[in-house]
Structure 1
Amino acid sequence: MLCSMMVSSEVTPQADFNAQGMAGKWYLIGFSTNAEWFVSHKASMKMGTAMFTPTGDGDLDISYASLNADGTCFRLNNLAKKTGTPGKFTYSSWDNQNDMRMVEVKYDEYALAHTIKSNAGDNTVVNKLYGRGVDIGADLMEKFRQFSLETGILPENIAILPRNGECPAA
């Protein structure tokens, strides 16, 4: 675990990150983590959508929605506050302090995000692969898999999420 955190803490955001370029709808296609809860939830996870809305002062308002099997929607909203490093944001979610880095972004195609979640000295890593559409090339899925392995995620904790219906606008 310590080894993976050393690697993870060295992950840097894309140097020329542009928050305005993130604006709009993205599909959450890939998800990987070293968090224990993932093992029991992985099979039920499906693709969801994220709306990224840059604020006037450089923060990112992130609204996530995923359609549950019973037709209800799981929704989550976070305001990711910019830091002194472009592409690096912080936010609180439940009892976690989150350090999110936008590692690689091609604004019309995909975004790779790396987050270190801290809670009472316990750190976990979450990597997410977003796409502008529901389909993403095998090369990007492999890039996501390799990045996840490099940041200490076990192969069985890397998921390409199955397609899903979308939640109605809130």
Structure 2
Amino acid sequence: MTIHKIVLSTSEESNTFIGTFHYDRNGTCIQHVGRYMMKDIAGHFVFNSTGAYVGAADIRVVKVNYQEYAFLLINMSKGVNHSKSVNLYGRTRKLTKETTEEFKEFALRQGIPEDMILFLPEKGACVPRDPIPESSVKDRKRRALDKMRKGLSLATS
């Protein structure tokens, strides 16, 4: 399980918005795009997938602080299987202790067992791209650091 980045954007269709998810899967950055249909009630959306993840999700924004976070309740179905999850989306990677405690209480009220409420560790940004072999990354970082050091020595001479 990893932290996901999601970018929401409007669609040409008035009742639809686009969610672009960026996440790490076994060391590779993946990008997944989903279309969400707005329902008649504010904060209520439906997602229907026809790709590799065939299924549907009923999504409700339960609480929102537009500058900081949103609490979501998601009911998913895939064939005869149904599940419920709660998600905490933040505008920043670090949320206040008060926000995480409030989210934990919200999750418990939804019937999520305490041992299933997870706050995942930060693993860095995942920018969609082809994976770069580790040695190339190290070489590039070393060259960039050398360049920066040379620049600093020239500036102080």
TM-score range (shorter-chain normalised) is: 0.7 to 0.9
Structure-2 separation of matches of 1:65 and 1:91 = 17
Asked if residue 154 in structure 1 is aligned to residue 113 in structure 2, the reply is: yes
Shift of the 140–67 alpha-carbon distance from structure 1 to 2, 3 Å rule, reads same
Please give the TM-score of this superposition, normalised by the length of structure 2: 0.72
**2:77 aligned to 108, 118, 123, which one?**
118
Unaligned stretches of 5+ in structure 2? 130-157
Structure-2 separation of matches of 1:75 and 1:69 = 13
Asked if residue 143 in structure 1 is aligned to residue 99 in structure 2, the reply is: no
Contact (CA 8 Å) 2:30, 2:128: kept in 1 or not? no
Contact (CA 8 Å) 1:67, 1:165: kept in 2 or not? no
Please give the residue correspondences for 1:63-78 in structure 2 after superposition, counting only pairs within 5 Å. 63-70=20-27, 72-78=28-34
Asked if residue 79 in structure 1 is aligned to residue 35 in structure 2, the reply is: yes
Contact (CA 8 Å) 2:47, 2:57: kept in 1 or not? yes
Structure-2 separation of matches of 1:60 and 1:135 = 26
* Cα drift, residue 114 of structure 1: 1.0
In the alignment, which residue of structure 2 is the partner of 1:46? 2
* Cα drift, residue 167 of structure 1: 2.1
Give the letter for the 1:161 counterpart. Answer: L
Unaligned stretches of 5+ in structure 1? 1-44
Contact (CA 8 Å) 1:48, 1:164: kept in 2 or not? no
* Cα drift, residue 53 of structure 1: 1.0
In the alignment, which residue of structure 2 is the partner of 1:41? none
Contact (CA 8 Å) 1:67, 1:164: kept in 2 or not? no
**2:58 aligned to 99, 111, 133, which one?**
99
Structure 1, 57-66 or 153-162: larger mean CA deviation: 57-66
* Cα drift, residue 113 of structure 1: 1.1
Contact (CA 8 Å) 1:48, 1:166: kept in 2 or not? no
Asked if residue 60 in structure 1 is aligned to residue 54 in structure 2, the reply is: no
Contact (CA 8 Å) 2:21, 2:31: kept in 1 or not? yes
Please give the TM-score of this superposition, normalised by the length of structure 1: 0.67
Paired residue secondary structure (1:52): strand
In the alignment, which residue of structure 2 is the partner of 1:5? none
Give the letter for the 1:59 counterpart. Answer: T
Give the letter for the 1:65 counterpart. Answer: H
Structure-2 separation of matches of 1:169 and 1:123 = 30
